[in-house]
A and B are shown apart, each in its own frame.
Chain A
Amino acid sequence: MSNNVMVLCEHVGKRVTDSTYELIGKARELAGAFGGQVEVALFGPADLAEQLGGADVVVNVDDPSLAEYVPECYERALMHVLGEREPRLLLLANATIGLDLGAAISVSWQAPLAAYCVGLAAEGDTLVATCQILGGKIMAEVETEGTKAVATVVGGAFPTEPGQGSGSPEVVTVSVPDLGSVRMSLTQTFEAQGGDVDITSVDMLVSVGRGIGSQDNLETVEELATSLGVPLSASRPVIDSGWLPKSRQVGKSGLKVKPRAYLAFGISGAPEHLEGMRSAELIIACNTDEQAPIFEIAHYGTTVDLFDLVPAIVERVQG
């Protein structure tokens, strides 16, 4: 067992993701406290190690079956690397790969898992995690027992800069046996669908959530979007219901937006949504639940019913 902190590198094509840098930055701090090093597990071609200057060691598994993300291949490779390197802590991003692998690694590697982490600290030998649960309404501060742990970290919880070092990490190559016997294979890849509008490149968005109630009610907010001359975007439930196309989805599994103004109607503010819009310059939220988490990050808020408020805004804009 080492005192090292390991980060699983995620990359889209040839680009290491921001979430990976967020984890490496936090790993630097924790490894310092535990008296270990930062190791980054890199699956696929080793040339990406050039982008991992924030690591002390890059543990590379370059196997053809790891060229693209296939959950079972990654899981086996990661379990093998954990067995070889025995880190104190494994950090995963709480996105698809973390949701796929975190709890499975926890069971197989027999290490506790703290999910939805927004804070991580070392107190002596103890890892203390602060986790955001129940739709962001409750924070849980937990200790992990034992000498190893896994944490899945919410996107945007830590800054990227501390993880973007310019060092030259040692590259250790590891080969993983039996990746040929996996029970799944990648058959197709779909890039993000381009929509009629690019919601990431506009000055203002009118965004709507579950509070809209039904597809018929969309007309109300559509009218506002039209009168302001901006696109309509939405949170996950509206997209999943098929009321608006996927290209209009703001949030973790949709798009990250940073408009000059973001008007949120009937959006409660689940952490997954906030991840996609919290950097907007001006956030105005309308939700009848005064406890809605959206009000924690909005600059201005109101509990006036959206069906009363939206027509009143339209009237003034069209004035």
Chain B
Amino acid sequence: MRIVVPMKAVPDLVEEIELTSDGSGIDREYLKFVLNEWDDQALEEALLVKEAGDAEVIAVGLDSDPDIEQALYAALAKGADKAVKLTGAGEAPDTHARAEMLAGWLGDQGADLVITGVQSPDDLDGQLPPALGARMGLPHVSVVTSIEAGADAGTVRVRQEFSGGRSTELSVTLPAVVGLQAARQSPRYAPISRIRQMMQAGGIEEAPLSPASGTSGLRVRRMYAPESTGHAEMLTGSPDEVAAKIVELLSARGLVKG
């Protein structure tokens, strides 16, 4: 089985997000980018599928994403068989453009399964897995928490999760696209030394993309940080002073003995 894992680098949400001076978008220049956490889950699940049977895992990234090489080398260090950087993706493509370009490249790759993160923090025009599924005319399932070999050859069993902890199991005929919510185990860790080895070996292949022709049909008027409508009253002081205030708040409501 051939599994392709499209990965995306996204702004690190731990950092403060700066907007461009005209407020029409995110200022990417000084922003730190990291691998989309759901793509990390997707890679983990792909590696678990590989370990459970006979599969090849190919991690792919777009050259539009800052530091995507880092994620691709890490994928190799974790056990991906191949890493491909797709070139000519343009600047900051949205989900619709990504889906169109990836569908074009995937067309002749013979992938049985495309596993990618269920969402990314900046996919304003929607999520990649369904867009890709629709573009490629393939069945697709999102919010998935496990993928295992199916009872029949050429199928997989996927578990799809719903609000409130309900879930279902679906049998899906391959080829298919899966949007992963969480892998069956936490994403494995790749030691820095191993990532360095991969970098020295220069194991990333490159392949060109055909540019996207369509647009998302969204026009951004402005972006802004949400106004603080009811910001928390901040408790300051030493840990002991803050603890005292918290206990006071709780005891005033009869929730602890004061």
Contact = CB atoms under 8 A, between A and B. Distances in A.
Contacts of A101: 130
Interface stretch (B49-57, B65-73, B197-205, B211-219): B211-219
Contacts of B253: 260-261, 282
B191 interface: no
B217 A137 contact: no
B169 A187 contact: yes
A203 B123 CA distance: 37
A164 interface: no
B163 A252 contact: yes
B241 to A, nearest CB: 9
Q: Helix, strand, loop or mixed for chain A's interface? A: mixed
B255 A203 contact: yes
Contacts of B185: 242
Interface string A58-95: 00000000001111100000000000000000000001
A100 B139 CA distance: 11
Contacts of A290: 234
A115 B226 contact: no
Interface residues of B, number: 88
A289 interface: yes
B149 interface: no
A146 B218 CA distance: 10
Interface string B201-244: 00000000000000011111111111011111111101110111
A315 interface: yes
Given A142-B221, A192-B166, 14 more contacts: A68-B168, A99-B130, A100-B179, A102-B126, A103-B134, A111-B217, A114-B124, A141-B221, A142-B218, A187-B157, A192-B164, A295-B232, A297-B230, A304-B238
30 contacts: A96-B162, A100-B143, A102-B127, A106-B125, A106-B134, A107-B99, A131-B124, A133-B122, A138-B17, A138-B26, A139-B223, A140-B124, A142-B124, A144-B217, A145-B219, A146-B217, A152-B126, A184-B171, A188-B169, A192-B165, A228-B250, A241-B186, A242-B186, A246-B165, A285-B232, A300-B232, A300-B235, A301-B232, A304-B235, A316-B244
Top 5 closest pairs, chain A to chain B, by CB = A112-B217, A103-B126, A301-B232, A192-B165, A312-B243
